């Protein structure tokens, strides 16, 4: 007998949930097209995109309320497609609380456990734990109508978590709340995720919410994934003009290719004499693309007093405390810059300034 001393290389961590080549058509309308993504165990993934981009359709297919037109969805390697929603072990929270109005808070939370025929004593204990998790211990006997919007949403969260699902889906769970309450609930949701460690998928069209809560974000537009990555990857290295504009703020200025030297591509902004050398790593356009956009974040634009008449003209300044927002006109384009306020004390509307694009922070996209 020979011993195999060869050490197998460890397999990369498998995704817990896998969506492969998923498409969904409603008649002729394609709501989601060829989406593939994976969610790791314990991860909080955000599906982020504008209205109509296909976020809810994808979530409903994972939950089992919509059948895929094509593609597969697996959890821990097992296909879900043939399983009805109640056999998938998935919890759900919707934008509207969807609590049973005639049941108390405790009865609402107990409902998924009763459906599973759990023993009374265990139900009581689990409900108590769930109430504590969402800090509503004192509210078990109330009816949903006797709660605020934020409290109702916490009950919905408790009800979705009480049966310890492997996956929790949240479709705009904070969408109905006002701004301040929304921010409080974001903090709470993050804490609950850290405490229970359940794998979660959060649908939102609010980029700040996605950036602050998610481990990774899938950006959807027109039913397609535009980019999938960590918040920092999306913010620092947008894959295309849509993501550059949707995540944070970007100036996107039409540009013309001047030449390349192996490490960078020079572009000239249309209608101006400004030439920027964009490093190869920041080129997100194919060499054959003619229609280009130079992308630069407001904070990556430098302003200096101009001696020439070819500079940009200050249209407006907005004081933000530490920073100053400066709106400029450069030929036919408007450009937004954000500079430390102490550097902008002398800026006034109508003044001409020179604009500097930091090459390392500038990116080149295909215009769509």
Ligand X SMILES: Nc1ncnc2c1ncn2[C@@H]1O[C@H](COP(=O)(O)OP(=O)(O)OP(=O)(O)O)[C@@H](O)[C@H]1O
Among 37, 57, 293, 353, binds ligand X (CB under 6 A): 57
Q: Quick one: 49 or 64, whose CB is closer to ligand X? A: 49
> CB of residue 89 vs ligand X: minimum separation in angstroms?
23
Please tell me whether residue 210 binds ligand X under the rule CB under 6 A.
no
Closest to Mg ion by CB, 53 vs 250, is: 53
> Closest by alpha carbon to 144, among 173, 95, 189, 109?
109
205 binds, among ligand X, Mg ion, none (CB under 5 to 8 A by kind): ligand X
Among Mg ion, ligand X, none, partner that 18 touches (CB below 5 to 8 angstroms by kind): none
**Among 15, 18, 19, 31, which residue sits at the site for ligand X (rule: CB under 6 A)?**
31
Given Mg ion, ligand X, none, residue 51, with its beta carbon under 5 to 8 Å by kind, binds ligand X
Q: Which of residues 52-71 bind Mg ion (CB under 5 A)?
A: 56
> Which region, judged by CB under 5 A, interacts with Mg ion, from 41-49, 51-59, 82-90, 127-135?
51-59
What is the 3 state secondary structure string of the chain? Answer: CCCCCCCCCCCCCCCCEEEEEEEEEECCEEEEEEEEEEECCCCEEEEECCCCCCHHHHHHHHHCCCCCCEEEEEECCEECCCCCHHHCCEEEECCCCCCCCCCCHHHHHHHHHHHCCCCHHHHHHHHHHHHHHCCCHHHCCCCHHHCCHHHHHHHHHHHHHCCCCCEEEEECCCCCCCHHHHHHHHHHHHHHHHHHCCEEEEEECCHHHHHHHCCEEEEEECCEEEEEECHHHHHHCCCCHHHHHHCCCCEEEEEEEEEECCCEEEEEECCCCCEEEEEHHHECCCCCCCCEEEEECHHHEEEEECCCCCCEEEEEEEECCCEEEEEEEECCEEEEEEEEHHHCCCCCCCCEEEEEECHHHCEEEECC
53 binds ligand X (CB under 6 A): yes
Q: How far is the CB of 211 from ligand X (least distance, A)?
A: 17
Site string for ligand X, 150-179 (x = CB under 6 A): ------------------------------
Q: How many residues bind ligand X (CB under 6 A)?
A: 12
Segment interacting with Mg ion, rule: CB under 5 A, options 48-56, 115-123, 128-136, 308-316: 48-56
By C-beta, is 220 or 265 nearer to ligand X? Answer: 220
In whole angstroms, the minimum distance from the beta carbon of 98 to Mg ion comes to: 14
Closest CA to 114 of 98, 134, 95, 100: 100
Q: Which does 240 bind (CB under 5 to 8 A by kind): Mg ion, ligand X, none?
A: none
- Of the candidate spans 25-33, 151-159, 189-197, 333-341, the one that interacts with ligand X by CB under 6 A turns out to be 25-33
The option from ligand X, Mg ion, none interacting with 54 (CB < 5 to 8 A, set by class) reads: ligand X
Question: Which residues of the chain form contacts with ligand X (CB under 6 A)?
Answer: 26, 29, 31, 49, 51-57, 205
Question: Which residues of the chain form contacts with Mg ion (CB under 5 A)?
Answer: 56
């Amino acid at each position: 007998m020979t011993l195999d001393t060869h050490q197998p290389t460890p397999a990369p961590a498998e995704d817990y949930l896998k969506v492969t080549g998923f498409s969904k058509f409603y008649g002729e309308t394609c709501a989601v097209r060829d989406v593939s993504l994976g969610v790791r165990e314990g991860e909080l993934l955000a599906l982020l995109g504008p209205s109509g981009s296909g976020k809810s359709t994808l979530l409903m297919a994972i939950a089992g309320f919509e059948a895929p037109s094509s593609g597969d969805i697996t959890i821990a390697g097992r296909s879900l497609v043939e399983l009805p929603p109640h056999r998938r072990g998935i919890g759900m929270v919707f934008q509207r609380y969807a609590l049973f109005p005639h049941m108390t808070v405790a009865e609402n939370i107990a409902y998924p456990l009763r459906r599973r025929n759990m023993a009374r004593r265990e139900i009581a204990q689990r409900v108590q734990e769930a109430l504590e998790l969402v800090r509503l211990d004192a509210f078990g006997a109330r009816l949903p109508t006797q709660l605020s919007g934020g409290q109702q949403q916490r009950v919905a969260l408790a009800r979705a978590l009480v049966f310890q699902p492997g996956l929790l889906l949240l479709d705009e769970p904070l969408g109905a709340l006002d701004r301040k309450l929304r921010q409080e609930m974001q903090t709470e949701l993050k804490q609950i995720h850290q405490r229970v460690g359940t794998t979660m998928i959060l649908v939102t069209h609010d980029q700040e919410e996605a950036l602050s809560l998610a481990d990774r974000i899938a950006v959807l537009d027109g039913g397609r994934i535009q980019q999938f990555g960590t918040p920092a990857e999306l913010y620092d290295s947008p894959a295309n003009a849509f993501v550059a504009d949707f995540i944070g703020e970007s100036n996107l200025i039409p540009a013309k290719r001047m030449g390349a030297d192996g490490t960078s591509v020079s572009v000239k902004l249309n209608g101006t004499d400004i030439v920027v050398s964009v490093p190869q790593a920041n080129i997100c356009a194919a060499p054959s693309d003619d229609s280009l956009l130079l992308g630069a974040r407001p904070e990556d634009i430098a302003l200096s007093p101009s001696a020439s008449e070819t500079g940009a003209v200050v249209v407006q300044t907005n004081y933000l405390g530490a920073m100053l927002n400066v709106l400029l006109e450069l030929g036919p384009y408007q450009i937004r810059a954000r500079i430390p306020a102490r550097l902008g004390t002398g800026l006034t509307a109508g003044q001409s300034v020179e604009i500097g694009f930091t090459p390392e922070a500038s990116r080149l996209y295909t215009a769509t």
